[in-house]
Chain A
């Protein structure tokens, strides 16, 4: 079975890769491109640990074939910071200690960024529903929510970074 040649943009850089039909985007990111920030938790779209943005829309990369990436722009956890400068969501996750084992953290940060890309003023309820597809088995979500709401305040210019 011949491999597909896929031309895409990942974290702002043009990237070409070869993949087989059944390889998911998560497989490609982790195994072919060395971008191991996205995690495989469930592999069935339930846990959100593999969350990425495809043309700005939040998706599970475990339920997206690598070959489907042709012509699309992908953002992974590796593309969230601006060089050495952390994104406000990343900074607030650190400050609020919104992680323990850290396995869910890349997905939560990508998902939270996607939320704040569309609304800088989410209610806590909106944020909780938005993040319902990101499972964390350590934190109990409270610190995560505080970090996200605080990051939103920073991005609105109402709190310090």
Chain B
């Protein structure tokens, strides 16, 4: 691997200072499962790596008021082990759990997956669907932004020099609210999403949808919130007519590319199918919550 400097600050302020004062490119490292690969391949040539895992709170999940607060560097394996989070937002845990192998799960984090800014990032659609916010620390203090405001395109984020994500704040679900995430890959494990879909729904006592968020991954330069798909669900039960409208809305929101994993036509078609399947799981779960 090319030469690089490394620092592991133990406070947020020290980390901000290190990131902001670096003369060249400074990269934040949580699990490093994307960063170290990009360093080795020469795609990135940072002068400094700032390892955030020694900062208290960067790893771990706590419940505060009506929120789950997830440390930005918390590895996927820790998310999967958290029974409260898994019950509340199983879709978020499913998405994070699909990132890489067991080995990668020991390291890969929500913040890394989001800030690597791959359109196909598996944890991102469900995190956005749950209306998560990110607390970002930087030279001008802290700010909170919705998760969907972080990525602007492949490999690009709205984080300024010196800024990094400290934690995710995810509202606890209301009664009869739940989520689901599925991705399509041509094999059963260890691949990158052709399409991913996260759905968060709230039902009334009779099973009619009162609130919904549908988010697609891998079909545009960033994850896409499909408002028309949510509108297709709200006010309805999950009958055939509603599913058909959901399918059409999901397909209409796709602006995918053709690559080795799938063509534009294929990704578009799969987005509709996945939206149906994920909505069915989310509705079934919400009815029991």
Name A's B-contacting residues (CB within 8 A). 1, 4, 20-24, 43-46, 48, 51, 54, 57-60, 62-65, 67-68, 70, 111, 114-115, 129-134
Contact = CB atoms under 8 A, between A and B. Distances in A.
B164 to A, nearest CB: 17
Contacts of A131: 102
A148 B1 CA distance: 35
Interface residues of B, number: 29
21 contacts: A4-B6, A22-B4, A22-B6, A22-B39, A23-B1, A24-B36, A43-B40, A45-B33, A45-B37, A45-B101, A51-B103, A57-B75, A60-B104, A60-B107, A63-B36, A63-B107, A129-B189, A131-B102, A133-B103, A133-B104, A134-B101
Contact of B189 (A22, A45, A62, A132): A132
A114 B36 contact: no
Contacts of A22: 1-4, 6, 39
A22 B2 CA distance: 7
Contacts of B189: 129, 132
Interface of B: 1-6, 8, 31-33, 36-37, 39-41, 49, 51, 53, 75, 77, 100-104, 106-107, 189-190
B46 to A, nearest CB: 10
A21 B29 CA distance: 13
Contacts of A115: 102
Given A21-B6, A24-B36, A67-B6, A57 B51 contact: no
B2 A63 contact: no
A54 B6 contact: no
Contact of A58 (B2, B32, B37, B103): B103
A65 B102 contact: no
A21 B7 CA distance: 9
Q: Which of B75, B102, B107 has the most CB of A within 10 A?
A: B102
Given A59-B107, A67-B6, A24 B102 contact: no
Contact of A114 (B5, B39, B53, B102): B102
Contact of A133 (B2, B6, B36, B100): B100
A45 B51 contact: no
A63 to B, nearest CB: 5
A57 B53 CA distance: 15
Nearest to A2: B5
